[in-house]
């Protein structure tokens, strides 16, 4: 398999309360001590058989794993979808073994994919239930073989099922309830997507099977096969199709969770999603911004990078900064209490990079951005490229769980608006502007918070940047105007939504300097000047209590933990894709803070031990010169 309805009442709640109110109401279902473990996981995966549960837990304990993923897919294999007894027994054994030593375990299941082991035989899902399959608008069914994906073995039949195939869905939810009854802590739902990601299906905007088309007609009155212009964001019908497809995936996952927690109230739902903030999200229908209020955590298989293998070993410094921008976005979508898990890959045979070096840079980057670490071997889910290194990383995280497992409250007087609808309809334009703004702020060490439609009303900063936000609801536009009325500065780049045309005091940059900046950085990151668009940078910047002076190759994330100010630093200086993933130490990092924060700075280097730096008074502020910054460090004031 790849390494990669909430009930109708919940969907109605979204419509009745709006995004912010509905998200708050739904979030109340996810709080509680039974789910705190998900913020502390150090993840590894293991294939589960009927006899190896005890060995899995023994190996996990030895390498510091907390939160064991086991591969034992029931609904994603046609044979066990029909008869799950043997796999259910194995799941129960591993749950018991994990709990005996104080660990947690959750089990992999496929979302809408199902594999039959004998494609040539008479008993495959496609042969017995062709009406269940997703289809292109031409009618072609979503049936694939071994050439389509590495996880499909020769002789197997791989199909993608419509979420509106009610008999299948009823059976799927029955299996979910049975899994929850084993005592396992959660279910890990892999890529619950509309089939648009295999070769030849990318522009299909599937599915056009009879059941899905009927559901869309019932909701909108439109015939999806005739009444919409696929790929045209100006077509109201196509926009409704995008929204419908996203809501359908939301609905499917919410129903999974509802069935599971009916059996075990502490049961966790963790989908694996690879689209992040990019165009792939509306295409496959799994939008992590929309999903976070519905699930307990998301495991992002976020592989940003221009290299062919998308591993840490192949990332450029520009890639690493985009990776930080993506993870900061996920953390904003999640809110403070829900965790963000990152399933990513450090190394897959790069000849000039040592696996350990790529593993360390990857882990440091994720920890400093506030995510939980999961680094497998190559491009599968299990194993490690270097087990001693993984063990060292996990034991160090364990020793500092009070920091990395704590709730972080981001700090920043500058807000950057993530418009989910703009991204869905105009992804190329919005994502370029959004990334450009975040890159400028990251390289210039300007602290920011990502603001969304769910959090707009509560944003209390001084500046709000809308990067080429072309689509706002009336409620969102009113929220922006209220922010300005409270004295906030609004910065608009690109083509702002027409509802903001009357805002005379907004600072406007219609020529999108942030995109110019992004393009220069992508072309030659080390040669680009972080302050090369001074007018926009000045408009986005305001005075704060903490100032970081460092190379533009260093990232600094400020946050409050338990009311105390922390900085999480990541260093990407000197990295070269495929050649060097060991950062060059930075000796000129200086932090200046208001004296009220304290005159002592605690410094915890990645994989190192804590030291203390005494500050030097400078008027109402205190200056701290940090020891050389290698891969990363956490610092806090006292």
Q: Are residues 98 and 18 in the same domain?
A: yes
- Chain position carrying tokens 């608006």: 417
For residues 257 and 106, the answer to whether their CB atoms sit within 8 Å is: no
Q: Are residues 528 and 567 in the same domain?
A: no
Q: What contacts 506, CB < 8 A, 6 or more positions away? A: 484, 490, 491, 492, 496, 500
CATH of the domain at 574: 2.60.40.1180
For residues 177 and 258, the answer to whether their CB atoms sit within 8 Å is: no
Q: What is the pLDDT of residues 574-624, one digit of tens each?
A: 999 999 999 999 999 999 999 999 999 999 999 999 999 999 999 999 999
Question: Could you tell me if residue 328 is inside a domain?
Answer: no
- Closest Cα partner for 43 from 329, 273, 274, 371? 371
Phi-psi region at 349: left, alpha or beta (left = phi > 0; alpha = psi -120 to 50): left
CA distances from 423 to 282, 331, 448 (A): 8, 18, 20
Mean pLDDT of 188-203: 95
Peptide bond into 139 cis (omega under 30): no
Q: Are residues 107 and 25 in the same domain?
A: yes
Of 271, 301, 331, which one is at a domain's C-terminal end?
Answer: 301
CA angle 389, 391, 397 (to 5 degrees): 105
Which tokens in the block code for residue 7? 């009930």
What is the phi/psi pair of residue 80, to 5°?
-85, -20
Other CB atoms within 10 A of residue 267 CB:
26
Residue 378: its pLDDT value, please? 84
Predicted model pTM: 0.94
Residue 134: its pLDDT value, please? 98
Question: Could you tell me if residue 209 is inside a domain?
Answer: yes
- Chain position carrying tokens 């075990």: 264
Of 283, 301, 319, which one is at a domain's C-terminal end?
Answer: 301
- pLDDT at residue 1 is higher than 50: no
Cα four-point dihedral sign 110, 304, 538, 575 = positive
Average pLDDT over the chain, rounded to whole? 93
DSSP secondary structure code for residue 119 in this structure: T
- Closest Cα partner for 422 from 506, 495, 345? 495
Give the distance from CA 15 to its chain's centroid: 25
Q: What percentage of the chain's residues is helix, strand, coil (to nearest 5)?
A: 40, 20, 40
Q: Are residues 215 and 264 in the same domain?
A: yes
Residue 34: its pLDDT value, please? 79
- Closest Cα partner for 305 from 294, 293, 318? 318
- Chain position carrying tokens 């009303």: 457
Give the distance from CA 477 to its chain's centroid: 26
Residue 381: its pLDDT value, please? 87
Distance (Å, whole) CA 569 – CA 368: 6
The domain total for the chain is 3
What is the phi/psi pair of residue 315, to 5°?
-85, 140
Q: Are residues 266 and 131 in the same domain?
A: yes
Residue 29: its pLDDT value, please? 61
Question: Could you tell me if residue 499 is inside a domain?
Answer: yes
Q: Are residues 631 and 534 in the same domain?
A: no
Question: Could you tell me if residue 112 is inside a domain?
Answer: yes
Q: Are residues 500 and 599 in the same domain?
A: no
CATH of the domain at 66: 3.20.20.80
Structural domain of residue 573, as residue ranges? 546-637
For residues 490 and 483, the answer to whether their CB atoms sit within 8 Å is: yes
Which tokens in the block code for residue 571? 């260093």
Q: Are residues 521 and 576 in the same domain?
A: no
Of 301, 334, 353, which one is at a domain's C-terminal end?
Answer: 301
Q: What is the pLDDT of residues 550-578, one digit of tens each?
A: 999 999 999 999 999 999 999 999 999 99
Which tokens in the block code for residue 2? 């790849």
Q: Are residues 554 and 498 in the same domain?
A: no
Distance (Å, whole) CA 194 – CA 163: 9
Q: What is the pLDDT of residues 351-367, one digit of tens each?
A: 999 999 999 999 999 99
DSSP secondary structure code for residue 153 in this structure: P
Q: What is the pLDDT of residues 404-430, one digit of tens each?
A: 999 999 999 999 999 999 999 999 999
Q: What contacts 51, CB < 8 A, 6 or more positions away? A: none
* DSSP H stretches of helix in 221-294: 236-263, 280-284, 288-291
Residue 308: its pLDDT value, please? 57
Q: Which residues of 499-531 are buried (b: 16+ CB within 10 A; e: fewer)?
A: bbeebeebbebeebbbbebbebbbeebeebebe
- Closest Cα partner for 295 from 370, 372, 186? 186
CA distances from 451 to 66, 358, 423, 501 (A): 32, 32, 14, 21
Question: Could you tell me if residue 571 is inside a domain?
Answer: yes
Residue 33: its pLDDT value, please? 76
DSSP secondary structure code for residue 160 in this structure: E
Cα four-point dihedral sign 179, 298, 135, 380 = negative
186-190 and 105-110: which strand pairing?
A: parallel
Which tokens in the block code for residue 589? 């990092």
Question: Could you tell me if residue 146 is inside a domain?
Answer: yes
Residue 380: its pLDDT value, please? 86
Residue 31: its pLDDT value, please? 65
CATH of the domain at 449: 3.40.50.880
- pLDDT at residue 28 is higher than 50: no
Q: Are residues 521 and 561 in the same domain?
A: no
Distance (Å, whole) CA 31 – CA 21: 16
Q: Are residues 503 and 587 in the same domain?
A: no
Which tokens in the block code for residue 209? 């099977």
Which tokens in the block code for residue 281? 């999200």
Q: What is the pLDDT of residues 275-317, one digit of tens each?
A: 999 999 999 999 999 999 999 999 999 977 555 568 999 999 9
Give the distance from CA 496 to its chain's centroid: 26
Q: What is the pLDDT of residues 232-262, one digit of tens each?
A: 999 999 999 999 999 999 999 999 999 999 9
Question: Could you tell me if residue 343 is inside a domain?
Answer: no
Phi-psi region at 613: left, alpha or beta (left = phi > 0; alpha = psi -120 to 50): beta
For residues 313 and 347, the answer to whether their CB atoms sit within 8 Å is: yes
pLDDT band at 399 (very low <50, low <70, confident <90, very high): very high
Q: Are residues 483 and 618 in the same domain?
A: no
Residue 15: its pLDDT value, please? 37
- Closest Cα partner for 65 from 393, 402, 343, 406? 393
């Amino acid at each position: 398999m790849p390494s990669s309805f909430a009930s109708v009442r919940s969907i109605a709640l979204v419509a009745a309360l709006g995004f912010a109110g509905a998200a708050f109401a739904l979030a109340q279902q996810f709080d509680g001590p039974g789910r705190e473990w998900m913020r502390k996981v150090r993840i590894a995966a293991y294939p589960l058989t009927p006899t190896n549960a005890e060995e899995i837990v023994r190996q996990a304990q030895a390498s510091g794993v907390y939160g064991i993923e086991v591969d034992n897919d029931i609904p994603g294999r046609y044979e066990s979808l029909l008869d799950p007894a043997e796999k259910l027994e194995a799941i129960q054994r591993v749950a018991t073994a994990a709990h005996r030593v104080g660990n947690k375990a959750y089990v992999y299941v496929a979302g809408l994919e199902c594999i039959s082991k004998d494609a040539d035989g008479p008993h495959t899902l496609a042969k017995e239930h062709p009406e269940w399959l997703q289809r292109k608008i031409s009618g072609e069914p979503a049936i694939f073989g071994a050439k389509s994906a590495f996880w499909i073995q020769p002789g197997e039949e791989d199909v993608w099922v419509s979420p509106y195939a009610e008999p299948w869905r009823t059976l799927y939810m029955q299996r979910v309830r049975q899994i929850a009854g084993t005592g396992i802590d959660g279910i890990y739902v892999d890529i619950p997507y509309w089939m648009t990601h295999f070769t030849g299906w990318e522009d299909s905007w599937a599915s056009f099977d009879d059941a899905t088309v009927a559901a869309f007609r019932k909701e909108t009155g439109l015939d999806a096969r005739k009444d919409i212009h696929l790929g045209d964001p100006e077509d109201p019908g196509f926009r409704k199709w995008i929204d419908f497809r996203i809501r359908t995936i939301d609905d499917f996952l919410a129903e999974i969770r509802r069935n599971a927690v009916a059996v075990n109230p502490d049961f966790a739902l963790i989908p694996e999603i690879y689209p992040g903030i990019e165009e792939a999200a509306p295409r496959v229908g799994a939008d992590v911004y929309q999903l976070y209020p519905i699930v307990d955590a998301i495991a992002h298989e976020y592989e940003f990078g221009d290299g062919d293998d998308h591993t840490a070993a192949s990332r450029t410094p520009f890639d690493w900064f985009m990776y930080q921008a993506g993870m900061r976005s996920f953390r904003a979508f999640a809110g403070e209490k829900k965790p963000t898990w990152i399933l990513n890959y450090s190394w897959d045979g790069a000849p000039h990079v040592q696996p350990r070096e790529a593993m360390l840079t990857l882990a440091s980057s994720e920890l400093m951005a506030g995510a939980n670490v999961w680094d497998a071997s190559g491009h599968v889910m299990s194993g490690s490229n270097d087990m001693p290194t993984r063990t060292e990383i996990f034991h160090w995280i364990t020793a500092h769980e009070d920091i990395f497992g704590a709730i972080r409250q981001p700090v920043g007087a500058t807000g950057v608006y993530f418009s989910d609808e703009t991204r869905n309809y105009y992804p190329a334009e919005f994502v370029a502007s959004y990334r450009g703004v975040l890159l400028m702020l990251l390289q210039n060490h300007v602290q920011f918070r990502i603001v969304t439609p769910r959090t707009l009303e509560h944003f209390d900063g001084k500046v709000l940047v809308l990067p080429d936000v072309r689509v706002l609801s009336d409620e969102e536009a009113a929220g922006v105007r209220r922010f300005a009325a409270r004295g906030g500065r609004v910065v608009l780049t690109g083509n702002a939504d027409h509802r903001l045309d009357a805002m005379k005091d907004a600072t406007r940059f219609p020529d999108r300097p942030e995109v110019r900046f992004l393009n220069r950085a992508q072309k030659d990151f080390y040669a680009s000047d972080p302050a090369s668009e001074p007018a926009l940078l000045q408009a986005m910047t305001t005075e704060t209590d903490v100032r970081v002076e460092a190379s533009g190759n260093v990232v600094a994330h400020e946050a409050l933990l338990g009311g105390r100010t922390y900085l999480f630093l990541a260093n990407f200086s000197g990295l070269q894709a495929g050649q060097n993933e060991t950062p060059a130490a930075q000796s000129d990092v200086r932090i200046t803070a208001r004296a009220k924060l304290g005159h002592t700075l605690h410094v915890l280097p990645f994989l190192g031990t804590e030291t203390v730096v005494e500050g030097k008074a400078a008027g109402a502020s205190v200056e701290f010169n940090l020891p050389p910054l290698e891969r990363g460090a956490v610092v806090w004031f006292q």
